[in-house]
Structure 1
Amino acid sequence: MTASLAMLLQSQLDPKLTAEGLLAQMRSDWPELDQSLLRLGEVPSEGDGTEDAGADDSPMQCLEYGDHLIALMPIPVQIGDDIAQICAHSRLWPDATPAPVDYAAHTIVTVMRFSDDGQEPNLVAQAALLSQVVASAIAVSDSNVAVYFGSANHVVLPGLFRELTQASLPEPMPIAWVAINVGQNPQGVMTGHTRGMDMLGLMDIEIPATADTAEGVFSRLTGIVDYLIENGMVISDGDTLGATDEERIRVVYGPSALDPERQVMRLQSEEIAPTKPAKSWWARLLN
């Protein structure tokens, strides 16, 4: 069982954000969903691998879609992360919009699949369902001040997130799911990395050093993210990617430079030694 998770940061817990209200909003927002599979769900009991929420007075709200459980857990405190710093580094958070540092609560939104059919879950489709749930929850409650993807460590304005889901789905929306970070290291060398691919069942990408411009690094990372989301983990350890006649890029699986406990795809530049021009027939005779 693999869960897809996001958080709604809120000015306060909103009693309007109920399973019943969310169910009605989802049916209105997403008519393409199989309505016969979308229904109210039961709060899971302890020991089934979900939140500790077996008591009758649990605040958890639950829906089901087919063999997926959709759970909302409201918590009347902040998440503890530095939201101002996260907003400053999130490309979907406008610079002119102040970070909501005074938010008072958050709701954890989780989508997970329960099935014993032995098949690997489609985590991209599961992320899409999670996004539909979050977008509808934004419409139900006006207390939401940010959408936070912990796996990517970035935030999105609620209104912008809802617009993105309505404009993008059912196509994947990596711009909201995956953070792409580009910058210079202390030595002035350009680097880049992604965060959030693990929620999609894929490996994050890191470029430890490159002579490319910031725009080039961003374009390369964006292209690989899109390719992996469409095709799966088809880039193997040791593969080479096309670059120029003088340079090639080798893919190396290994520990992240930012978090050694995580495995990532590192893109390492390798120079290609120039081939010596062949001697002419008369030069070979003379030598």
Structure 2
Amino acid sequence: MSASLAMLLQSQLDPTLTAHALLAQMRSDWPDLDPSLLRLGEMPAEDGQGKADGGDESPMQCLEYGDALIALMPIPVQIGDDIDQICAHSRLWPDATPAPVDYAAHTIVTVMAFGQDGQDTNLVAQAALLSRVLASAIALSDSIQAVYFGSANHVVLPGLFRELTQATLPAPMPIAWVAINVGARPDGVMTGHTRGMDMLGLMDIEIPETQDSAEEVFGRLTGIVDYLVENGMVISDGDTLGASAEERIRVVYGPSALDPERQVMRLQSEEVPQAKPGTSWWKRLLN
């Protein structure tokens, strides 16, 4: 089983955000989804007896799409992370919009797929389904103040997220799923890294140091993210990426500089050895 997860930060819990309402909204929003596969679901209980729509004993709301279970769990507290700082660093949170630091509740939205015949789940497609659910929930409730992807540690303005999903899906939308962070160290050396690729079954990327500008680092990371999302983990440990005739970039798998417990792809610049100049014709004659 694999799971994709995000959170909806809310001013308050909204009792109108039910499985029945979400089912109707998703069918309206996403006509390309097979309506026969989208239905009310059941969350298995400890005794094996689940209840459709969460039942009267649980606040959890459940849908199913094919072999995927969609679960929404409302929780009447904050998540504890520093939302002010996360909003300040998110490229999908406008600077002019205040961070929702006073939000009072959140809903965990999870899509869980149960692979068949030993086949791996398509995590990019699963993230797309999760995004459809989030976008439809935004249309249903005015209580939603932010969409938070914990794996990427970044937030998206709800209205912007819904517009992005409607304009992009079913194509992948890594701009919403993956955070790309670029900045200079205290010594002025430029660095960059991604967060959130693990939700897509991919490795995050880190550039520990580079002489490139912030714009060049952002462009390089964005290009590699898009390439991996499209093609999978086709860049192996030790591979080199051509940057120019004078420089090459080697990919090294190893512990993250920010979190040693995580394995990442580090991009290390290497100078291309210059060929030694040939011996002049007159020296060859003398020798």
Q: TM class by shorter-chain length?
A: over 0.9
Whole-angstrom distance in 2 between the partners of 1:101 and 1:151: 20
CA distance in 1, matches of 2:201, 2:195: 12
SS of the equivalent of 1:252 reads strand
Deviation at 1:28, TM superposition (A): 0.2
Using structure 1 for the length normalisation, give the TM-score. 0.96
SS of aligned partner of 2:125: helix
Question: Counterpart amino acid of 2:256?
Answer: S
Moved more, 138-147 or 276-285: 276-285
2:2·2:114 contact (CA, 8 Å) conserved in 1?
Answer: no
Structure 2 counterparts to residues 63-102 of structure 1, below 5 A: 63-102=63-102
Q: Is this contact kept in 1: 2:254–2:265, CA < 8 A?
A: yes
**One-letter identity of the residue aligned with 1:273:** P
- Whether 2:149 is the aligned partner of 1:149: answer yes
Q: How far apart, CA to CA, are the structure 1 residues paired with 2:23 and 2:253? A: 42
Alpha-carbon distance in structure 2 between the residues aligned to 1:116 and 1:226: 27
* Structure 1 residues not aligned, in runs of 5+: 49-53
Q: Aligned runs of 1:213-228 on 2, under 5 Å?
A: 213-228=213-228
Measure the CA separation in 2 of the matches of 1:145 and 1:282: 78
Amino acid at match of 2:67: D
Identity %: 84
For residues 22 and 187 of structure 2, what CA distance do their matches in structure 1 show? 50
Deviation at 1:43, TM superposition (A): 2.1
Q: Give 4+ residue runs of structure 1 displaced > 2 Å after superposition.
A: none
Measure the CA separation in 1 of the matches of 2:38 and 2:226.
29
Cα separation, 2, equivalents of 1:185 and 1:265:
19
- How far off is 1:170 after superposition? 0.6
Could you give the per-residue CA deviations for residues 187-225 of structure 1, whole angstroms, max 9, x where no partner exists?
A: 110000000000000000000000000000000000000
Is 2:248 the counterpart of 1:266? no
1:139-188 deviation per Cα after TM superposition (whole angstroms, max 9, x unaligned)? 01110000000000000000000000000001100110000000001111
Deviation at 1:133, TM superposition (A): 0.2
2:132 counterpart of 1:128: no
Instruction: Provide Cα deviations, 1:14-34, integer angstroms capped at 9, x if missing partner.
Output: 011000000000000001000
Cα deviation, residue 272, structure 1: 1.7
SS of the aligned residue for 1:161 comes to helix
Distance in 2 separating the partners of 1:246 and 1:174: 31
Distance 1:121 1:229 in 2: 14
AA partner of residue 79 (structure 2): I
Instruction: Give the distance between the partners of 1:176 and 1:160, measured in 2 at CA.
Output: 10
**DSSP-derived class of the 1:203 partner:** coil
Question: What displacement does 1:84 show?
Answer: 0.3
Report what 1:51 is aligned to: none
Stretch deviating more after TM superposition (137-146 or 109-118): 109-118
Residue 285 of structure 2 aligns to a residue whose secondary structure is helix
CA shift at 1:279, angstroms?
A: 1.4
Offset of 1:273 from its aligned partner?
Answer: 2.1
Q: CA deviation at 1:56?
A: 5.4
Deviations 1:78-123 (A, max 9, x none): 0000000100110100111100000000000000112342000000
Mind listing any 5+ residue stretches in structure 2 that lack a counterpart?
Answer: 49-53
Q: How big is the shift at 1:47? A: 8.4
Deviations 1:48-85 (A, max 9, x none): 8xxxxx98511100000000000000000000000001
SS in 2 for 1:103: coil
Alignment of 1:117-196 (within 5 A): 117-196=117-196
The alignment partner of 1:21 has SS state of helix
Residue 60 of structure 2 is aligned to residue 25 of structure 1: no
Tell me the TM-score normalised to structure 2 length.
Answer: 0.96
Please name the residue that 1:41 is paired with.
41
Separation in 2 of the partners of 1:80 and 1:74?
Answer: 15
What's the CA shift for 1:247? 1.4
Counting matched residue pairs gives 283
1:253 corresponds to 2:259: no
Q: Does 1:113 align with 2:116?
A: no
SS class of match (1:155)? strand
Cα distance, 1:115–1:273 mapped onto 2, change above 3 Å: closer
What is the SS of the residue equivalent to 1:14? coil
